[in-house]
Amino acid sequence: MSKIRVHAFTISVDGYGAGPHQNLENPLGVGGHALHEWVFVTRTFQRMMGAEGGSTGIDDEFAARGFDNVGAWILGRNMFGPIRGPWPDDSWKGHPRAPVVMKGDTTFHFVTDGIQSALRQASAAANGRDVRIGGGVETIRQYLRAGLIDEMHLAISPVLLGSGEHVFSGLDAVKLGYRCTEHVSTEKATHVVLGKLFK
């Protein structure tokens, strides 16, 4: 059975998935780049970047698992392009627009009528495989609040950000039906998998 998953989403020790002041020059926010040190060095990430080498082991295994059986991804506006507030030109302000086809056959579809619609379209595109919610933080929070995420892998980086976008602020993961199903630590991250006890 297909799942709705979050995978390899990195947060700081104090729970932030992005630092403050995100913009085009600082897409992960101030200090946010340091969150992802665990994945940048892995063989999986290096191959994605067209490079050779990279580390193997637990961090790499978690990075690679994020692609297993995934048929479609959902990204929020900020993950697609970290621009807050009004768009800098009139080319798109959240209204429907034509899909964007990228090199390698990735196609971005722009959905403006809510998370349920995005999930229906992604599930159809996934054709029986899993749908991965890629982020950013607010998109994950919306799917969590709606009780739609079946499994969530968080990589907790040994970094403090102090402010930014907090993943669980105001959310009760226990009442939403989640429990920790797996956890393992490496030098660069603590990997935690949360599973849904009930739908």
pLDDT, average across residues 174-184: 96
Q: For the chain, what is the domain count? A: 1
Which is higher by pLDDT, 21 or 180? 180
Q: Write the CATH number for 151.
A: 3.40.430.10
Which is higher by pLDDT, 87 or 158? 158
The 10s digit of each residue's pLDDT in 65-123 is: 999 999 999 998 766 665 555 555 656 555 667 788 888 778 888 888 899 999 999 99
The 10s digit of each residue's pLDDT in 23-45 is: 777 778 888 889 999 999 999 99
Over the chain, what is the mean pLDDT? 89
- pLDDT for the residue numbered 111: 86
What pTM does this model have? Answer: 0.87
Instruction: Look up the domain containing 111 and give its range.
Output: 4-196
Q: Are strands 165-166 and 107-108 parallel, antiparallel or unpaired?
A: unpaired
- pLDDT for the residue numbered 80: 67
Helix residue ranges per DSSP H, 16-76: 37-40, 43-48, 58-65
- pLDDT for the residue numbered 93: 53
Q: How far is CA 129 from CA 87, 123, 169, 195, in A?
A: 33, 8, 30, 18
- With contact defined as beta carbons under 8 Å apart, do 4 and 143 qualify? yes
Backbone angles phi, psi at 60, to 5 degrees: -65, -40
Spatial distance between the Cα atoms of 21 and 32, rounded to a whole number of angstroms: 10
